[in-house]
Amino acid sequence: MLYSKVTPEQKRLKLRELLASGTVQQFPGAFNPLSARLIEEKGFAGVYISGAVLANDLGLPDIGLTTLTEVATRAGQIARMTDLPSLVDADTGFGEPMNVARTIQELENAGLAGCHIEDQFNPKRCGHLDGKNVVDIDTATKRIRAAADARRDPNFLIMARTDIRAVEGIQAAQDRARALVDAGADAIFPEAMRDLHEFQAIRDAVDVPILANMTEFGKSDLFTVDQLQTVGVNMVIYPVTLLRIAMGAAERTLESIKAAGTQEAQVENMLTRARLYELVDYEAYNQFDTGVFNFKVPGIR
Ligand SMILES: C[C@](O)(C(=O)O)[C@H](CC(=O)O)C(=O)O
Ligand SMILES: [Mg+2]
């Protein structure tokens, strides 16, 4: 009922354990707080909170227009719905290294288990689009050092994302990954890897956990967990999958209502009222009310 009773500290510890397990951990992207509960119920390891989803949900393109306040608020709303650890996309950290430091503390306050900070220039863009640019090594490492120094919970995961592969190639990505780890990154997100060999190259370059971004319509094939396991990936995200599916269903439903004059044909595809109530734990609220308001005190009429 209400929100998760697992504390942010416990979730961060859990994330560390998951990443140390040696098996690929799946983190689907929640597109709203309730979908985080669905992700947990279906047995996934954790929840990813995508910057693209957050921006698109507001009707904005994913080009760094969302603010720290918007991201921390929404990420906090999602994280508190689940007992699982949540990893949030903090884009380029929302400014200069000092802003990055503040970003980390706000995300800690919002109950996140960790975040990733990338080395793109602003305005940033989806890592799977062409025409990206990255900042120099000095700026990139300063962002990560500021992030690592700012956290108050040593288990809050600072993941460094590098977008350099698409600009300078896989060798540059290996070099940058090493430098980011030296600067204090706990994990590496190598963006827009072309194939499994490239994930292997990053695996060979660093000792920390690495993430695979299995976003649809991007530069990578959609590898299975078994494939990713063979190249030593620790965590896989499906960042925009649920939003794409939900919006696809919404579009088809609207067209069908328009054409048929009723939603009748779509009802079988819907989450039922009963299932929706189950997800929001409606029954527990009924019980809570009974306990609080239906008490009797002897002698009081
Ligand atoms: C992972 C990502 O950063 C996101 O915001 O979810 C995006 C996903 C996407 O646009 O498909 C990315 O840059 O890969
Ligand atoms: Mg993003």
Domains of the chain: 8-239 (3.20.20.60), 247-292 (no CATH)
Q: What is the pLDDT of residue 294?
A: 66
Q: CA 165 to CA 194: how far, in whole Å? A: 9
**Cα(288) to centroid(ligand 2), Å:** 39
**Cα(268) to centroid(ligand 2), Å:** 34
Residue type, 140: A
Evaluated on CA atoms 86, 90, 91, 92, the torsion sign reads negative
| Nearest-10 crossing angle of helices 68-79, 33-41 | 40
Q: CA 93 to CA 84: how far, in whole Å? A: 23
Residues taking part in catalysis:
48, 62, 89, 91, 116, 118, 126, 161, 191, 213
**Cα(64) to centroid(ligand 2), Å:** 9
Q: Point out which residues pair with 237 in neighbouring strands.
A: 27, 213
Nearest ligand 1 atom to the CA of 215 is 11
Nearest ligand 1 atom to the CA of 213 is 1
Nearest ligand 1 atom to the CA of 237 is 1
DSSP letter, residue 24 = P
With a cut of 0.90, is the ipTM above it? Answer: yes
Q: Point out which residues pair with 212 in neighbouring strands.
A: 236
For residue range 94-128, what is the model confidence (pLDDT) as tens digits? 999 999 999 999 999 999 999 999 999 988 988 88
Q: What is the pLDDT of residue 300?
A: 62
∠245-247-249 over CA atoms, to 5°? 70
Confirm or reject: Cβ of 111 under 6 Å from ligand 1: no
Cβ proximity of 131 and 87 under 8 Å: no
Q: CA 18 to CA 186: how far, in whole Å? A: 13
- Residue numbers in the chain where pLDDT is lower than 70: 292-297, 300-301
Confirm or reject: Cβ of 106 under 6 Å from ligand 1: no
Q: CA 291 to CA 301: how far, in whole Å? A: 18
The full length of the chain comes to 301
∠155-160-166 over CA atoms, to 5°? 160
For residue range 241-258, what is the model confidence (pLDDT) as tens digits? 999 999 999 999 999 999
Task: List, in sequence order, every beta strand (DSSP E) within the chain.
Answer: 25-28, 47-49, 86-89, 114-118, 157-162, 187-190, 211-213, 235-238
**Cα(118) to centroid(ligand 2), Å:** 9
| % helix, strand, coil for the chain, step of 5 | 50, 10, 40
Q: Point out which residues pair with 187 in neighbouring strands.
A: 159
Nearest CA to ligand 1 atom 7: 126
31, 50, 124, 125: residue to mutate for ligand 1 pocket, most atoms within 8 A of CB = 50
**Cα(53) to centroid(ligand 1), Å:** 8
Confirm or reject: Cβ of 215 under 6 Å from ligand 1: yes
Q: CA 115 to CA 88: how far, in whole Å? A: 5
Q: What is the pLDDT of residue 34?
A: 98
Nearest ligand 1 atom to the CA of 218 is 11
Q: CA 192 to CA 204: how far, in whole Å? A: 17
Confirm or reject: Cβ of 15 under 6 Å from ligand 1: no
Q: What is the pLDDT of residue 129?
A: 86
